[in-house]
Structure 1
Amino acid sequence: MISLLNRTVFNFRLLTLFLPLLSFLIAGAVEWQHIVSSDIDPYPYFGLLTFATIAWSIAIESYGLCTTKYILMSGGNVYAALLATLMTLFAELVIMFFYRATSFSRLFVASSAVVLFFSAVGLRFLLRAAMKGRLLRKSGSVRVLIVGADEFAERTARSLVDREFKGVEIAGFVRLQGQNAKVKGIVCDLDSIGDIVAGNRIDDVVLALPAPRLHELPTILEKVQHFGAPVRAVLDLGDQPPTSDRLLNVNGVWMVNVCHTPTESIMYMIMKRGFDIAFSTAVLLFTAPLMAVIAVAVKLTSPGPVLFAQNRVGFRGNVFKMYKFRTMRTSNTAEGDQRWTSPDDSRRTRVGTLLRRSSLDELPQFFNVLKGDMSVVGPRPERPYFVEKFAVEVPRYRARHYLKVGITGWAQVNGWRGDTSIEKRVEHDLYYLNNWSLLFDLRIVLRTVLHTLNAKHAY
């Protein structure tokens, strides 16, 4: 069953890469008469196809289109296919905007996007149907022997059988020492498992061990690993189920990645860093005249440096210097590091008050982004004193440092900035951590621009 699923995922991944080509061919057929009559050069479309294929490859990885979860999910994750299509379409529009030598057909681009979306959804249903048919033809079903005879084992059996494929048959339960014999379907004890496997067709052996019995795993493996049937282990993780089905092999040590987040993927690193560099460079170039005016205003209205540098805690707890335009009078650094800014803070300068209300004092942080200390979007960096304080008071506070801190974030655009609830901020930061995508970042950036015009917690 698992090998068939792996082959299906591989085939789906391979075929999915050709969907942009298919969408261009169909859209080209629809628009062929227009292209011929308008004497349009077709060669730029090949370049557009290349960029679309690259964007699509990144998108399907980012939104999990080629994962086991996507294949098995009843009804299909149409939303993931839609997001991947929109990301590809956005990449095409960017290319069309900068490449003005050719006037691309808008109907062609729109048609190819529609075809891309429906072909991705359709391909998933076709491969799913083919997989279901193969399971049913393979001697009727896959026979699974479950090692364990308790509530957890029964729950595991129900989950396997209740799949839409209907291709799994429970051959029986193997009772472990001390387990209740009332579970229906017990065929033997662990010591007799060899006779059951030898005398019956067993396709898979599944070890369903609750957390208190995990220490018995080596002993059980000694008895079942030589029967020739694949052996799978089901982990009972209670209220913390794994967010990914990935296994890691580190120097021969097998580990289950039970707290995987989207931010651990290679695609996250490439897309996140690429977006940070492109966006921060554009902002710095666009706002350079404004920053020069602000620098002069800060220098002329109060004594002290133009920029204010302060230690902040970033990715994985690393401390870095974060830059801002100075908005307050120079004072004791240690005191400032352990004190919140208040609406009527007497330390603010007149120019500083305007800068903080408009958030323009944070423009130099885009240099931090270029350096790699920060990202455009992420949890706001905090001072070391408060990090140590909140780590003791707020559960899972340090988990927000699993990713780069940012200039703006999900908590900030939802109103949790400044002297507001730390618990709510952490809640929103962890939501961002577990649901990151490039479109999510773009959404936060857009909302940040809108919220800057009405920033009630900025002072």
Structure 2
Amino acid sequence: MIRGKERFITQLYMGVDFTFIQISFFIAWFVRFYLINDEQLGAYLPRSSYFLWNLVYSISYLLVAFVIGLYAPKRRLKFAREVTKIFQAHLFSMFILLSILFIVKTIDISRIFLVLYFTIGIMVAVIYRFIVKQSLRNLRRKGYNRQFVLILGAGSIGKRYMQNLLQHPEYGLEVLGFLDDNRTEYDLDVEIRKKVLGSIDILTRILSERIVDEVVVALPLTAFPKYQQIIFICEKAGIRVSIVPDFYDILPASPHFEKFGDLPIINVRDVPLDDFVNGILKRAFDIGFSLVAIILTSPILVFIAIGVKLTSPGSVLFKQERVGLNRRTFYMYKFRSMKFMPESASNTEWTVEDDPRRTKFGTFLRKTSLDELPQFFNVLKGDMSVVGPRPERPFFVDQFKDEIPKYMVKHQVSPGITGWAQVCGLRGDTSIRKRIDHDIYYIENWTLLFDMKIIWKTVVKGFMNKNAY
């Protein structure tokens, strides 16, 4: 059992992290100065200086990781979120190290070593934490390291909560029982009826007589006057309290609390990219990836530009108004794949199969998605992201927002060149509703690792689109 030893577990994690950073340091040192050794070794700092800066990096990492919550309990945290926090901790620690090196004017340090140190550190941390997480989940499935939950409310909310726990044995949470004042009014299942221990009035006695790790309040709104006393009793006993709101079924997504002055506000949709740090990380990734993509594809860009110019009269690039972040419009760039037409027609008409407006070269560009390459310049401008929901024309946005209630949610993040819906096959002439469902899933579950997964799937599945006309 690890119950009551959370502080020790945090210290243990910090100690293990420190140890693995030292392992990463020695691996990076060995690779740089023994496997990639060159004759300029003497021009770098002595080994003792590297040890000193390694210590600075290690301490910075532990402090940053603690501040961003990497050592907080994460029994129910998705591993992708944990990976994002690991990356954030290493990134900020490297910024701190580079800033100190700049301030003290220490420049004779191997850049290759720093890159290896940073990369290996992230890889080692992700691998060992994945092994630990999977090991703990396997142990919990077998009944070890369990935590006991007492549910207040045996109605539909409490029942739903217990069902969720049963579907996730890897969390290691076991329902100790239910307390409910109105249990005789419910049509209770036999399984739940057996677990009802009594009324809420015996909460103090239950907490003193049994091992309870968490109390979950799953009462209807009519029982709201009891909440304050329940929380008081639980905190007096040192027990964590969670509340499942009675209106959970009308919320469009997983809510989270924000502070507005001294008032707690429930935000009905958790958007990870609203977090400042996440936004900075995504923007930095977008800029770096777009610059590399433009440089690598520059010969292709020149070839396509010449091809468009030679095969039909008109401009090489085609710009079209689209709706982006926060419903603001911008002009999205593409290589022109159609004959010249009035802007009013291009903004209000779908492209159809065997569309007579397409040029032969344009048909090839659309089928291979090569007409989308100029959008990397949109990313550099900040109008778009590499990954995100695909932007649509204002005419169709006005149409879809009335037909599909959640359609406008996609505009809470920057639109992308590729997205979760697209790599799942929802491109071109496919269901708009399914596309929006995938877009909302991406918005609520964003991580940098998720972006990389989508980019990888885009590359692996290829750029050919059978639904592109």
Once residues 381 and 57 of structure 2 are traced to their aligned partners in structure 1, the CA distance between those partners, rounded to angstroms, is 28
Amino acid at match of 1:425: R
* Cα RMSD (Å): 5.5
Q: Are 2:444 and 1:434 aligned?
A: yes
Map 1:216-365; keep pairs closer than 5 Å: 216-217=223-224, 219-221=225-227, 229=236, 233-236=243-246, 246-299=256-309, 301-365=311-375
> Which among 168, 171, 186 is matched to residue 198 of structure 2?
186
Map 1:47-126; keep pairs closer than 5 Å: 66-68=71-73, 70-71=74-75, 113-114=123-124, 117-118=127-128, 121-122=131-132
Structure 2: give runs of 5+ residues left out of the alignment: 93-108, 140-144
- 1:119-170 Cα offsets, whole Å, 9 max, x none, are 67559989xx9xxxxx99xxxx9996x654645457768989998477x966
Question: Which residue does 1:175 correspond to in 2?
Answer: 181
Instruction: Mark the CA change 1:405 to 1:11 in structure 2 (over 3 Å): closer, same or farther.
Output: farther
CA apart distance, 1:240 = 7.1
Question: Which residue does 2:217 correspond to in 1?
Answer: 208
SS of aligned partner of 1:117: helix
Structure 1: give runs of 5+ residues left out of the alignment: 92-98, 130-134
Instruction: Mark the CA change 1:45 to 1:188 in structure 2 (over 3 Å): closer, same or farther.
Output: closer
CA apart distance, 1:366 = 1.5
8 Å Cα contact 1:20/1:116 also seen in 2: no
Instruction: Mark the CA change 1:71 to 1:399 in structure 2 (over 3 Å): closer, same or farther.
Output: same
Once residues 223 and 337 of structure 1 are traced to their aligned partners in structure 2, the CA distance between those partners, rounded to angstroms, is 60
> Which among 431, 435, 452 is matched to residue 425 of structure 1?
435
Once residues 71 and 425 of structure 1 are traced to their aligned partners in structure 2, the CA distance between those partners, rounded to angstroms, is 31
Instruction: Mark the CA change 1:433 to 1:15 in structure 2 (over 3 Å): closer, same or farther.
Output: farther
- 1:46-98 Cα offsets, whole Å, 9 max, x none, are 87898899899999999x96453x3357xxx778778988999999xxxxxxx
CA apart distance, 1:251 = 2.2
CA apart distance, 1:273 = 0.4
Once residues 369 and 33 of structure 1 are traced to their aligned partners in structure 2, the CA distance between those partners, rounded to angstroms, is 38
SS of aligned partner of 2:428: coil
> Which among 361, 383, 398 is matched to residue 408 of structure 2?
398
Map 1:4-15; keep pairs closer than 5 Å: none
Once residues 222 and 86 of structure 1 are traced to their aligned partners in structure 2, the CA distance between those partners, rounded to angstroms, is 39
Once residues 435 and 4 of structure 1 are traced to their aligned partners in structure 2, the CA distance between those partners, rounded to angstroms, is 31
Once residues 446 and 200 of structure 1 are traced to their aligned partners in structure 2, the CA distance between those partners, rounded to angstroms, is 50
Q: Are 2:420 and 1:413 aligned?
A: no
Amino acid at match of 2:75: I
Instruction: Mark the CA change 1:236 to 1:60 in structure 2 (over 3 Å): closer, same or farther.
Output: farther
- 1:10-68 Cα offsets, whole Å, 9 max, x none, are 65775576354243367589999979x99977466887898899899999999x96453
Once residues 160 and 411 of structure 1 are traced to their aligned partners in structure 2, the CA distance between those partners, rounded to angstroms, is 29
Once residues 110 and 22 of structure 2 are traced to their aligned partners in structure 1, the CA distance between those partners, rounded to angstroms, is 25
Aligned residues: 423
CA apart distance, 1:277 = 0.7
8 Å Cα contact 1:204/1:232 also seen in 2: no
Q: Are 2:382 and 1:375 aligned?
A: no
Instruction: Mark the CA change 1:179 to 1:85 in structure 2 (over 3 Å): closer, same or farther.
Output: same
Question: Which residue does 1:389 correspond to in 2?
Answer: 399
Question: Which residue does 1:445 correspond to in 2?
Answer: 455
SS of aligned partner of 2:269: coil
Residue identity over aligned pairs, in percent, reads 33
Once residues 424 and 206 of structure 2 are traced to their aligned partners in structure 1, the CA distance between those partners, rounded to angstroms, is 62
SS of aligned partner of 1:175: coil
CA apart distance, 1:327 = 2.2
Question: Which residue does 1:21 correspond to in 2?
Answer: 21
State the TM-score, normalizing by the size of structure 1. 0.68
Instruction: Mark the CA change 1:181 to 1:287 in structure 2 (over 3 Å): closer, same or farther.
Output: closer
8 Å Cα contact 1:295/1:306 also seen in 2: yes
Amino acid at match of 2:398: E
Question: Which residue does 1:94 correspond to in 2?
Answer: none
Map 1:108-147; keep pairs closer than 5 Å: 113-114=123-124, 117-118=127-128, 121-122=131-132
Once residues 381 and 233 of structure 1 are traced to their aligned partners in structure 2, the CA distance between those partners, rounded to angstroms, is 37
8 Å Cα contact 1:242/1:257 also seen in 2: no
Once residues 178 and 336 of structure 1 are traced to their aligned partners in structure 2, the CA distance between those partners, rounded to angstroms, is 65
CA apart distance, 1:274 = 0.6
| Structure 1 range deviating more: 310-319 or 264-273 | 264-273
Once residues 356 and 311 of structure 1 are traced to their aligned partners in structure 2, the CA distance between those partners, rounded to angstroms, is 18
Amino acid at match of 1:276: D
Instruction: Mark the CA change 1:25 to 1:83 in structure 2 (over 3 Å): closer, same or farther.
Output: same
CA apart distance, 1:325 = 2.3
Amino acid at match of 2:421: A
Instruction: Mark the CA change 1:205 to 1:71 in structure 2 (over 3 Å): closer, same or farther.
Output: closer
- 1:185-235 Cα offsets, whole Å, 9 max, x none, are 33466xxx8xx859984999957344xx32542x33465566673765332
Once residues 252 and 13 of structure 2 are traced to their aligned partners in structure 1, the CA distance between those partners, rounded to angstroms, is 23
Amino acid at match of 2:221: L
CA apart distance, 1:335 = 2.0
